């Protein structure tokens, strides 16, 4: 790769229009880019899908030298570089997945000034040889991606990020830009301090993702609940399902596959090749569901993830926001769904209490969990509470796109039931010297003559049978909310209930305990794939029949082209771009060049093929001739939904039996593409990936937790 710079002497706007094919900047992008181009340091907070990457990619193309991007996403660097090369950007990467010859080629390109962007892992940057290499070239900027990984209290802490403070010491004249999608004000301060960016200009975009509908449902056979959600609202859609444990991942993936939903598992316990193959299939195929632990997701740029579901409670609001933010990167309506129950609270409290961390760690983890529980138990707008957590004032009290706004729950005075429950726990301990879990306490309150009640003579307690005004599930809600509020706690391996220092305030009637009563679920009727797609955009954006047919032909061409080149389909064109092309139906390269997302390189590579498809002819296999500069970019047509049903893949078996995708035909000659990291690793070698670490909960939670 020895080509000249794309647009020597070009302005940031020129690069945006001609390289990336976008008509204008969004939000604070222009201010951020101009600040960095001018040599300033920046700390940028921008939600997923907000265009963070352009904030360092464009300055790297405008400033002289090579932009060095520090990213923890080793397993995704190849896809990131491929996407840039498709745009005509001279990009490369250095990480542990490369052999000596591949690394030598990239190093020579950097030293010779033949790279616009170079991606490196944080652990690699700490190596003296890498630092000496960077000294030999000209660096335009340092971009620190996923900067929240430097926060020691954060959900994605990476120790190697702590060493990045040396960038300012070793290269004091090179501007730095740190970017993240998730950070509270305290985390922002920690990022700035640890990365020596205290004098940097801070840019904070809105954390609101208005296209995501947030919903938290009472847990009651969560896998069945998930299946109902996918069948009625997301048939044939791509999505991510998060589970707390590896065993939970395997069971959920198998359950969905057996019920006709193509699903793949992903967790750190899988064989390296299976894990890499599953990730590749998810990125490259339509309609797949990835069931995963937190080992999956960061840096996944798949734009058409229509839902993110959690079968277990996340540990923090930051983690929840980061994970749900992977839905709807294309701006189309998407769902963030969480099943939440009593045992989630019990499990998370136990994990904190039994952790190896010191008192400060447990205190911080408890604060994170308390905020997550408050989000689950709120009776007000969930979006508003989510935004307030990150220090943003929501607009209005009703967002109109979360479950509490669409189907408001009631708030009721639960003081007396709380007193009954706490009194039961107190009497078991004081009168019998016993501690039990929630189930036994609820059976006592309901007056159930179970074998355990009879064995321990609990029917002789004064509280036996005094709680028949509530049903079993309602009592579980009382226990859950008392745990969430800190009026009750759990201890030991069996999760027995114990009183806390604030329990006496409730027992003496000094505080009123208001509780959330779940509204009755609204009836949902199954919808066809086409009906579901019709809700993906406003009616005014619907495609006429002819344009809808063009859109499907374009998608089929894109899929075949991506397979030939060994890249995800969205690297060729996003769905939104194909919709705009189908709606405009351009007849010339100049007209096609006005569509948002069609830059000069893509116009040259794919323009004639697109025009051939729109004309009803077989697409040309050769690149389009060099086109004259397109007219000034104009806003693209409004986004439109997919039309006809997309064929769904056959159900996928469990992880051990998941085959890798079929080998793609050879790609056209171009820059040498190194083999994937997994292809050069032995079966027992670790796959170099950011997030392979996860809680060692191989057999947790047990099946009976499905009751919630």
Residue identified by tokens 């090369």 is 85
Domain 212-409+690-707 in CATH: superfamily? Answer: P-loop containing nucleotide triphosphate hydrolases (3.40.50.300)
Answer whether CATH 1.10.10.10 is correct for domain 412-517: yes
How many C-beta atoms lie closer than 10 Å to residue 696's C-beta? Answer: 10
pLDDT at 661: 38
The enclosing H or E element of 309 equals: strand 305-310
Give the alpha-carbon dihedral of 459, 465, 466, 472, to 10 degrees.
120
Mean pLDDT score of the chain, rounded to an integer?
Answer: 82
Reported as a single tens digit per residue, the pLDDT across 141-178 is 999 998 988 886 555 678 888 889 899 899 999 999 99
Reported as a single tens digit per residue, the pLDDT across 331-359 is 889 999 999 988 898 888 888 888 887 88
For residue 490, the cross-strand partners are: 497
499 pLDDT tier (thresholds 50, 70, 90): very high
Phi, psi of 340 (to 5 degrees): -135, 130
Is 412-517 the same fold as 212-409+690-707?
A: no
Asked whether the predicted pLDDT for residue 380 surpasses 70, the reply is yes
Asked whether the predicted pLDDT for residue 69 surpasses 70, the reply is yes
Q: Average of pLDDT values for 659-674? A: 37
Asked whether the predicted pLDDT for residue 611 surpasses 60, the reply is yes
621 pLDDT tier (thresholds 50, 70, 90): low
pLDDT at 49: 80
Asked whether the predicted pLDDT for residue 108 surpasses 60, the reply is yes
425 pLDDT tier (thresholds 50, 70, 90): very high
Asked whether the predicted pLDDT for residue 697 surpasses 50, the reply is no
Give the Cα-Cα-Cα angle 256, 375, 520 (nearest 5 degrees).
65
Asked whether the predicted pLDDT for residue 303 surpasses 50, the reply is yes
Cα–Cα distance for residue pair 435/226, rounded to 1 Å: 34
Cα–Cα distance for residue pair 444/441, rounded to 1 Å: 5
Asked whether the predicted pLDDT for residue 608 surpasses 80, the reply is yes
- CA 391, distance to chain mean position in Å, is 21
How many C-beta atoms lie closer than 10 Å to residue 40's C-beta? Answer: 16
pLDDT at 4: 56
Asked whether the predicted pLDDT for residue 549 surpasses 60, the reply is yes
Structure token pair of residue 269: 């316990």
- Distances from the Cα of 433 to the Cαs of 319, 411, 436, 638, in angstroms? 39, 35, 10, 68
Q: pTM for the complete prediction?
A: 0.75
| Domain 12-204 architecture | 3-Layer(aba) Sandwich (3.40)
553 pLDDT tier (thresholds 50, 70, 90): very high
pLDDT at 363: 86
pLDDT at 153: 58
488-515 b/e (C-beta count within 10 Å ≥ 16 → b): bbbeeeebbbebbeebeebeeeeeebeb
455 pLDDT tier (thresholds 50, 70, 90): very high
pLDDT at 656: 37
CA-based R_g, the chain, Å: 27
295 pLDDT tier (thresholds 50, 70, 90): confident
Reported as a single tens digit per residue, the pLDDT across 428-452 is 999 999 999 999 999 999 999 999 9
Reported as a single tens digit per residue, the pLDDT across 560-602 is 999 898 888 888 998 889 999 999 999 999 999 999 999 999 9
Q: How does DSSP assign 484-529, residue by residue?
A: HHTSEEEETTTTEEEE-TTHHHHHTT-S--EEEEPPPPPP-----H
Residue identified by tokens 């060994």 is 566
Taking the domains of the chain in order of start, what are their residue ranges? Answer: 12-204, 212-409+690-707, 412-517
Least confident of 86-100, 379-393, 548-562, 672-686: 672-686
Structure token pair of residue 592: 């096609």
Structure token pair of residue 510: 């000094």
Sheet holding 212-218, edge to edge: 212-218, 334-340, 305-310, 238-242, 289-292, 263-266
651 pLDDT tier (thresholds 50, 70, 90): very low
249 pLDDT tier (thresholds 50, 70, 90): very high
């Amino acid at each position: 790769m020895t080509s000249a710079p794309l647009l020597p002497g070009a302005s940031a706007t020129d690069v945006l229009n001609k390289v990336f094919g976008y008509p204008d900047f969004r939000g604070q992008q222009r201010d951020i880019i101009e600040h960095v181009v001018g040599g300033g340091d920046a700390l940028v907070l921008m939600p997923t899908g907000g265009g963070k990457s352009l904030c360092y990619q464009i300055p790297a193309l405008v400033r002289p030298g090579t932009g060095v991007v520090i990213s923890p996403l080793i397993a995704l660097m190849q896809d990131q570089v491929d996407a840039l090369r498709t745009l005509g950007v001279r990009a490369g990467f250095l990480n542990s997945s490369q052999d000596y010859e591949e690394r030598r080629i990239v190093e020579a390109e950097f030293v010779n000034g033949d790279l616009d962007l170079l991606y490196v892992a944080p652990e690699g940057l700490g190596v003296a040889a890498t630092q000496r290499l960077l000294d030999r070239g000209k660096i335009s900027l340092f971009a620190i991606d996923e900067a929240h990984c430097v926060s020691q209290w954060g959900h994605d802490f990476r120790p190697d990020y702590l060493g990045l403070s040396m960038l300012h010491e070793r290269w004091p004249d090179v501007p730095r830009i740190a970017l993240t999608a998730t950070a509270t004000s305290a985390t922002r301060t920690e990022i700035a301090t640890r990365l020596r960016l205290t004098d940097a200009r801070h840019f904070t975009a809105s954390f609101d993702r208005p296209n995501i509908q947030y919903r938290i449902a009472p847990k009651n056979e969560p896998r069945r609940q998930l299946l109902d959600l996918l069948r009625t609202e997301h048939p044939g859609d791509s999505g991510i399902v998060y589970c707390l444990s590896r065993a939970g991942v395997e069971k959920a993936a198998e359950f969905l596959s057996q019920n006709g939903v193509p699903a793949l598992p992903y967790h750190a316990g899988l064989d390296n090749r299976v894990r890499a193959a599953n990730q590749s299939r998810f990125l490259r195929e339509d309609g797949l569901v990835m069931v995963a632990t937190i080992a999956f997701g960061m840096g996944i740029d798949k734009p058409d993830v229509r839902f993110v579901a959690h079968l277990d409670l996340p540990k923090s609001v930051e983690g929840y926001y980061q994970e749900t933010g992977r839905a709807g990167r294309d701006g189309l309506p998407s769902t963030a769904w969480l099943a939440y129950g009593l045992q989630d609270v019990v499990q998370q409290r136990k994990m904190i209490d039994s952790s190896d961390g010191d008192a400060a760690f447990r205190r911080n983890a408890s604060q994170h969990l308390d905020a997550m529980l408050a989000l689950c138990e709120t009776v007000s707008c969930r979006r508003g509470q989510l935004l307030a957590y990150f220090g943003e004032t929501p607009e209005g009290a009703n967002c109109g796109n979360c479950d509490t706004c669409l189907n408001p729950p009631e708030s009721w005075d639960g003081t007396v039931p709380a007193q009954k429950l706490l009194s039961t726990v107190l009497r078991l301990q004081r009168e019998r010297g016993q501690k039990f879990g929630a189930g036994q306490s609820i059976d006592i309150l309901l007056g159930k003559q179970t074998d355990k009640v009879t064995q321990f003579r609990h029917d002789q307690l004064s509280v036996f049978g005094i709680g028949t005004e509530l049903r079993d599930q309602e009592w579980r809600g009382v226990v859950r909310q008392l745990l969430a509020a800190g009026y009750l706690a759990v201890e030991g391996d069996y999760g027995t209930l114990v009183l806390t220092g604030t329990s006496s305030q409730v027992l003496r009637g000094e505080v009123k305990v208001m509780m959330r009563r779940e509204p009755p679920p609204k009836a949902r009727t199954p919808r066809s794939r086409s009906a579901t797609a019709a809700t993906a955009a406003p009616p005014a954006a619907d495609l006429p029949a002819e344009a809808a047919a063009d859109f499907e032909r374009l998608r089929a061409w894109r899929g075949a082209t991506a397979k030939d080149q060994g890249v995800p389909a969205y690297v060729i064109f996003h769905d939104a771009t194909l919709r705009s092309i189908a709606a405009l139906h351009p007849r010339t390269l100049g007209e096609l060049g006005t569509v948002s997302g069609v830059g000069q390189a893509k116009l040259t590579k794919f323009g004639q093929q697109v025009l051939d498809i729109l004309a009803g002819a077989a697409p040309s296999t050769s690149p389009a001739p060099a086109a004259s500069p397109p007219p000034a970019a104009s806003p693209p047509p409004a986004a439109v939904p997919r039309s006809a049903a997309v064929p769904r893949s056959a159900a996928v078996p469990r992880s051990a039996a998941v085959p890798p995708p079929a080998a793609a035909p050879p790609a056209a000659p171009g820059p040498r593409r190194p083999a994937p990291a997994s292809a050069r690793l032995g079966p027992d070698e670790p796959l170099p990936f950011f997030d392979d670490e996860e809680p060692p909960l191989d057999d947790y939670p047990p099946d009976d937790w499905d009751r919630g």
